[in-house]
Amino acid sequence: MEPTILYEDANILVINKPSGLVVHDDGHAKEAGKIKEKNLVDWILKNYPQIKDVGEPGRTANGETVLRSGIVHRLDRETSGVMMIAKNQETFEFLKDKFKNHNIEKTYHAFVYGQLKKTEDVIDRPIGRSSKDFRMWSAQRGARGELREAETHYKVLKSNKDYSFVEVKPKTGRTHQIRVHFKAISYPLVADSVYAPNRENNLGFVRLALHSYCLSFADQKGDTHTIVAPYPADFANALDLLQSY
């Protein structure tokens, strides 16, 4: 559950987040009387205490402050891969603006159910709240609330009749965007317990089959960086299985 460092300089830290590690405390454990689980911010505070007050703190449902030390963007608990952390406030504001204006290219790799008909395409569907469950999101007819523009580019890297391994580049950053968009075109992500519950898979996944593979960005000096996160063991194993049958 420990992240590994992929790149570091005086202003930026880029890590490989393992699946299962939540990014920051949301206060829910305390409210439910449970023991707070370790999260990425705990690791940051232990190894980089000077980052403690960098960024924008959040608040729990009961109004308590939650530290988000240096966190500029987030990954879901089950998603593994590249994640960027700002080491000072100036860099935080710089990166926040970059993400807001889509000047940082994010590339994900994922396994989806089924063999996609198009080897390369753009999913351009607005996302709103699900009409079935307000905690979920939807890019299908009947979505509720404010519909926000969302665009996802994908390319099939490998496939068979049961699964496709895809490279995904979201051009917007909506919550659950990749999961919701592939669900909307009837090729949900493998082992997605929320958007494709109770579906078996033969690829060995016990968590969402989504990996933040690469981040490409320019730093404050204008130098460009492309940081790649190696596949975790379950992704490497699934690729072997996909090719074997």
Taking the C-alpha atoms of residue 19 and residue 76, their distance in angstroms, rounded to an integer, is 9
Q: In whole angstroms, give the CA distance from residue 190 to residue 213.
A: 17
25 is catalytic: no
Tokens of 88: 């000072």
> In angstroms, what CA-CA distances link 176 with 9, 192, 217, 227?
30, 11, 22, 22
CB contact set of 63 (below 8 Å; sequence gap of 6+): none
Q: CB-side exposure of 170: number of CA atoms within 13 Å?
A: 24
Nearest to 11 by CA among 120, 85, 115: 85
- Could you say which of 76, 121, 219, 223 is catalytic? 76
What's the chain's Rg over C-alpha atoms? 18
Residues annotated as part of the active site:
76
